Structure 1
Amino acid sequence: MPQHVRFDLPFNTPVSPHLEYARDRHLLWVRERGLVRSQAGFEEYQSWDLSQAAARTYPHASADDLVVLMNWFSLAFLFDDQFDAGRADRADRIAEVARELIATPLRPAGTAPRVVCPITLAWVEVWEYLSNGMSLTWQARFAASWGRFLVAHCEEVDLAARGMAATLGLDAYAGFRRRTVGIHHSIDAGERSRGFEVPAAAMAHPLMERMRDLAADTIGFMNDIHSFERERRRGDGHNLIAVLRRERDYSWQEASDEAYRMTTGCLDEYLGLEARVPQMCDELGLDADERARVGMGVEGVRHWINGNYEWALTTGRYAADKDGPVATAELAGRGSVDDLLTM
């Protein structure tokens, strides 16, 4: 089964010692904020174990910061599960809420949302905390990456609503997946989790830009492989294996094998570029402190590649053999039993 597919990653990453503390407070928060309303929805959400994902991808965050990062994780995943192309008005409502989520980091922190629903209210709260202490440069970078991610999701919903989700070719899908996976802003949040910022000159260097793109490709393709059985059951064509099968007339096994090859190819290219980071630092004339911050930035990318991989092997979000109310909702085209786009 694809969720059990293993990749040979040449590095390990730690798990936060604050996992249990943060998980308890996070689960209380999602209930109090109305992000999970039904018992079935709460049980499904617990099975995803996003708390483990946050503890693996941000292992050096303080206990309180880790709670906030878990809270932020919930917003992106729960928003993704609001998509229901079977309802004529759903795409418009998703776009309206997405615009509000995009606008929040561009306003003064704490500004009340203009579109009110559980997700927008929770995001205002999370962003006020997440942005605290970070420079305007970092905030603008995060906001741009976050915005691209949300716009891509709106495009995905629109394609599904128009029956065009299964029309993307491989190249178009790969570029699209790079945005929908949401890794760029997630790596940005790694800086917030440790209270540092990668020097702007290094962040803008083509080497770092390519490394971030390759990390996004690696993680996105890994997720496609691990979630394939679940998405196949739902009839979701937004998956690398499905695209390869359709475009190249592969069998499912051939498509899975090629997806694996593409994923390891992205990882190998990433590792090759990572080895050139010291040379980049020399080229830019970075001092010892700046080099240390670049090193932490690269470490943050590693945390995301490995941490997300370890989480994906066990999360209930990718399980293909679920039954019950949530599974029934998925078969009807929805990922969640709770509507979070209305009050």
Structure 2
Amino acid sequence: MRIEIPERFPVPFNAAINPFTGRVSQRFWEWLIQEDLIPTERSKERLRRSGIELASCYCWPWADSETLLLGMKWMFFFFRFDDQMEEGAAQRDFGRVCRAVEEITGIMSGNGRGPGDSTFPRSLHRTWTETKMGQPEEWVNSFGRNFCDLVRSYTDQSRFNYETPATPMGLAAYEEFREITFGMHWVYDFMEMVNASSKGYLPQQVRNGSAMRSLRRASTVQQALLNDVFSAARESHQDRIVNGVVLFQREKRCTVGDAVGYVLDRMEQLVDIYSEACHNLLKEARQCGARAQQAEAAAVRFIENMDAIIGGNHDWHHIVMRYATDDVSSPSGALCYPDDL
């Protein structure tokens, strides 16, 4: 599949970047080497192309250096798991994907048999222990639940992409599916923790309210559809069919170029839904009684950060080489990490 990237996307927000980007990026690479998480030249090159440090700095522009480093570690776990499940030995092995999902979610929930001997699970276990320290139980539960939901979604991704015969997925079902598989809910939780030091945590009724659900969903699916445009060519090399461009092309019986146009139209609609949800979130925050002032301040910062994430998602995709096709189209195959899950 050949896709021409549009000159403009319906993304009306500017990115913001963390001022500690350079210094923390160096510490991040030192941690990776110390933990033996990128032991081969191919894994190092996959990491360079993925722009994990840049993604983290766009997501949490107001994090201090220590918290930003912690966020980079989580972004790495997400990206590495994604690559191992979708481009490594587990790519077409549903049973192996299920075992890997069970191992990671067991560590996060505390119900597993321990992290075992592999470097990835052991490092994840240490980082999860560090992350939970001193945080409110409600926040810990939300972060753990959302990260586990993302990891579990890889069983569905594996089944939808490679089962024979393939199960058709409509656009509405795809958006519901993609809200989880794009992996932003744990990012939003981490964002709240970053901003809590100055603005406090959101009250539970605001965090779990209808406006927040609408805001998170619209933001996530909008970003995911942009990702679909950039990733479709690489995914087509790997016979992966669960992509918004592919689904619009099938449902509308149109060219790839027209399908991209439909994706952009849907992105624009989602920006409008997101903007309305932001307005409603502030209304809910102002109805928190004695906590209304603090709740509104936390909600304002949440929205400011979410705007920056949407803008950063746009810029990140234009900068990084994560979705280049030169490796997957070569005889040596995808640049990837060791298969240790």
TM-score (structure 1 length as normaliser): 0.88
Aligned match of 1:174: 175
Does residue 337 (structure 1) correspond to residue 336 (structure 2)? The answer is yes
Q: 1:218 aligns with which of 222, 247, 250?
A: 222
Structure 1 residues 166, 28: closer, same or farther in 2, change over 3 A? farther
Q: Which runs of 5+ in 1 are unaligned?
A: none
Name the aligned partner's letter for residue 95 of structure 1.
C
What are the residue-to-residue correspondences of 1:1-343 with 2, within 5 Å?
1-3=3-5, 5-83=7-85, 90-107=93-110, 113-163=114-164, 167-194=168-195, 195=197, 196-285=200-289, 286-320=291-325, 322-323=326-327, 328=330, 335-342=334-341
Structure 1 residues 329, 336: closer, same or farther in 2, change over 3 A? farther
Between the aligned partners of 1:208 and 1:239, the Cα distance in structure 2 is 25
Structure 1 residues 60, 282: closer, same or farther in 2, change over 3 A? closer
Q: How many residues align?
A: 334
Between the aligned partners of 2:339 and 2:22, the Cα distance in structure 1 is 26
Between the aligned partners of 1:167 and 1:329, the Cα distance in structure 2 is 31
Structure 1 residues 127, 264: closer, same or farther in 2, change over 3 A? same
Between the aligned partners of 1:165 and 1:215, the Cα distance in structure 2 is 29
What's the Cα RMSD here?
Answer: 2.5
Between the aligned partners of 1:19 and 1:164, the Cα distance in structure 2 is 46
Q: Following TM superposition, by how much is the alpha carbon of 1:96 offset from its aligned partner in structure 2, in angstroms?
A: 1.9
Structure 1 residues 318, 5: closer, same or farther in 2, change over 3 A? farther
Name the aligned partner's letter for residue 72 of structure 2.
M
Native 8 Å contact 2:15 2:58 kept in 1: yes
Q: Which runs of 5+ in 2 are unaligned?
A: none
Between the aligned partners of 1:144 and 1:270, the Cα distance in structure 2 is 23
Structure 1 residues 222, 317: closer, same or farther in 2, change over 3 A? same
Name the aligned partner's letter for residue 31 of structure 1.
I
Structure 1 residues 187, 254: closer, same or farther in 2, change over 3 A? same
Deviations, residues 32-67 of structure 1 (Å, cap 9, x unaligned):
323222112212211221101101110111112211
Between the aligned partners of 1:73 and 1:87, the Cα distance in structure 2 is 20
Native 8 Å contact 1:245 1:255 kept in 2: yes
Deviations, residues 110-141 of structure 1 (Å, cap 9, x unaligned):
x9824442221121122122222210001111
Between the aligned partners of 2:170 and 2:332, the Cα distance in structure 1 is 25
Q: Following TM superposition, by how much is the alpha carbon of 1:217 offset from its aligned partner in structure 2, in angstroms?
A: 0.7
Name the aligned partner's letter for residue 211 of structure 1.
L
Higher mean alpha-carbon deviation, 173-182 vs 24-33, is at: 24-33
Name the aligned partner's letter for residue 71 of structure 2.
L
Structure 1 residues 136, 52: closer, same or farther in 2, change over 3 A? same
Between the aligned partners of 1:2 and 1:301, the Cα distance in structure 2 is 28
TM-score (structure 2 length as normaliser): 0.89
Native 8 Å contact 1:85 1:157 kept in 2: no
Between the aligned partners of 1:61 and 1:164, the Cα distance in structure 2 is 46
Deviations, residues 208-262 of structure 1 (Å, cap 9, x unaligned):
1111111111111111112222223333212100111122211111111101111
